[in-house]
Amino acid sequence: MQRNLVLAASLLISGQIVASNDIQAVKVSGAAGLQLASELPTGTIVIDRQMIDSLPASDLTEVLDSVAGLQSSQLYGINGAGASVDLLGFGGTGNQNTLILLNGRRLTGIDLGAPELTGIPLAAIERIDILPGAGAALYGNGATGGTINIITRQRYQNSAGVEASTGSFNTEGGQLYATAGRENLSGALAGQSLSSDGYRENNRTRNKNLFADLRYQGEGFQAYFTATGQEQYTGLPGGRSVTATENQFRNDPEGTDNPDDNVDQNSYWLMPGLRINVSDRTALTLDAARRRQHQEFDFVSGSYTSDTVIDTFSLTPKLEGQLTTGGAVHNWTLGFDLYKYDYVSDTSFGNRDLEQDQRAWYLHNLVSVTPKLSVSAGARRLESTLSGEGDNKEQDGEMYEGGLRYTFTGNLALFAGAQRSVRIANLDELTPFNPPIDPQTGRTYTLGASWSEGIQHSTLTLWRAEIENEILFDPASFTNRNLDDPTVHKGISINSRWRLDKDLTLTANASAQQARFDGGQYSGNDVPLVPEHTMSVSADWQALPWLSAQLSHRYLGDRHYDSDLANEYTKLDHYRSTDLQLTARYRGAYLRAGGYNLENHLVADYGVYSAGTGGTTLYPLPERHYRVAIGYEF
């Protein structure tokens, strides 16, 4: 089941970011701390504003897909709608094992659906911190493969802008913004709309976003309030079947057998917060949030409807500080997370009215033992209660993480880390139709190096994850359940960025990975939907003072179809895709033109195998297509 976790964020907000942590002595600033991400003993990848601008990407999922060790799969290829994200190779359960945050607050929800990222325009993002195999103690449930923290801009200068766009498939869009800053007060207001018929029949998308942000910097404190809202309609064309007698994927990729299926969804999110300087070396952050998501599915083809509302209330206070013992400097964070979910769903098969509470205490300490050696350790205790459906369902777990990092002369750093993660079953898995499900636990180990020298910065990461009681869908029993035997995920990734000269930057990322069942009836088989190899290469060239070009090439290797746990069918084919974007600027005006999938390949990120029919269903992505945008920035 999909559900709306869409956030409308600021669009095309210009202006320069100012660090949100005003206590300069405190390195660790929790969810949004750049220092924390860069100093943790893990292969942290930071996608900054410059890197985002250097990619010919039209949505957030395409940016994430450029990172080695991270796979972003799209169902329909329009604005990233329905896309999933998988860090360190979990295949069909990647969404449940990759924790996604916005400014440190959870986007990953309480059902099987992927967080909808379509409402976060690229220009709203200051940076993205990606922590492979880390984040369980700091951020909590579901960080088995790691954590992705999307961080938006924190303060604004006086600016405004407007953009109109058009493209293939009758795509039309518009966006505008205004930001202002005066003395201690700054704010932003932005709106966006998108309309597209999509590549396929019944592939329509209609999307509207609004964003408002207000920030006040006082003497010894910072207050902020963010509000977002979105409306989205999406046609659901379903997949194209491939059987022994028919190949809809090749012969009619644009068609559909579900001409009337659709989902209509809307959401809003209110996020007040306050950060107080308790002392020169201590700060208290009080964040709260109120969120409502409403989603209406209409599967006419299967005579099935659903109407679901999820109300979320959260309170996430934390205390951060710095202290010195001997020659060591401790940067510590002590926090408490409280999330309350009200879930009401009316469907053709029955109704559910549930409440879930998740409570967690956590403590994390990053210690600078010497100027070159740092050590980190953290722990979290999680308790979850689900009520409203028979006896209360209690789930809990303990999460730990730690490691060390040593920096040599010449900006070469070696790191080693480990974490114990927990994933508790979500509401779609905790149903009367499924057997009782215990929390999933994982032990993840990472080892690697990062180095910077003049024109380049690179990070090499090796990982191994051993998962016990892994929760997944078993097509043999048609239920979600715990596996009796473990799975093992391992791999290596390299993310490298080179500034070849002042006008040319090259990014080259690649990974090799393996995920296998380690026992039981599927012992030795590959986990479905995990490619053995991925690669992404991109170039950003300032060809002329007024003209820039961004070129990227992506490779995704072979992988088994979803639900083919027995590995009895052929693999889903590998593919390559190339995108090119040109931008011309004159004073405040700009013209941007992009061509995508230039080779015109017919490909699919996702496919599912049916043992009953012996066939497969694939979700075709758009063939060659184009987009043109014209705008003006004041």
* Cβ(163)–Cβ(12) below 8 Å: yes
pLDDT for the residue 525: 96
- Please report, for residues 70, 85, 376, the alpha-carbon distance to residue 416 in angstroms, rounded to integers and kept in the order given: 20, 25, 10
Phi, psi of 499 (to 5 degrees): -95, 90
Pick the range with the lowest mean pLDDT from 82-86, 267-271, 336-340.
Answer: 82-86
Pick the range with the lowest mean pLDDT from 24-38, 77-91, 423-437.
Answer: 24-38
Q: Write out pLDDT tens, residues 264-304.
A: 999 998 999 999 999 999 999 999 999 999 999 999 999 99
pLDDT at 366 over 90: yes
Q: Tell me the domains of the chain and their CATH numbers.
A: 30-633 (2.40.170.20)
pLDDT for the residue 6: 28
Helix (H) or strand (E) holding 105: strand 105-106
Q: Distance (Å, rounded) from C-alpha 167 to C-alpha 194?
A: 11
What mean pLDDT is predicted for residues 101-113?
85
Q: Write out pLDDT tens, residues 447-472.
A: 999 998 878 899 999 999 999 999 99
51-83 in b/e burial notation, b at 16+ Cβ within 10 A? bbebbbbbbbbbbbbbbbbbbbbbbbbbbbbbb
Report percent pLDDT > 90 for the chain.
68
Type of residue found at 135? G
Q: How long, in residues, is the chain?
A: 634
What band does 29 get if pLDDT is binned at 50, 70 and 90?
A: very low
* Cβ(633)–Cβ(260) below 8 Å: no
What band does 155 get if pLDDT is binned at 50, 70 and 90?
A: low
pLDDT for the residue 125: 80
What mean pLDDT is predicted for residues 170-184?
90
Q: Distance (Å, rounded) from C-alpha 499 to C-alpha 376?
A: 32
What band does 72 get if pLDDT is binned at 50, 70 and 90?
A: confident
Highest mean pLDDT pick, 28-42, 66-80, 262-276: 262-276
* Cβ(263)–Cβ(234) below 8 Å: yes
Q: Distance (Å, rounded) from C-alpha 603 to C-alpha 626?
A: 17
Q: Write out pLDDT tens, residues 595-619.
A: 999 999 999 999 999 988 899 999 9
pLDDT for the residue 7: 31
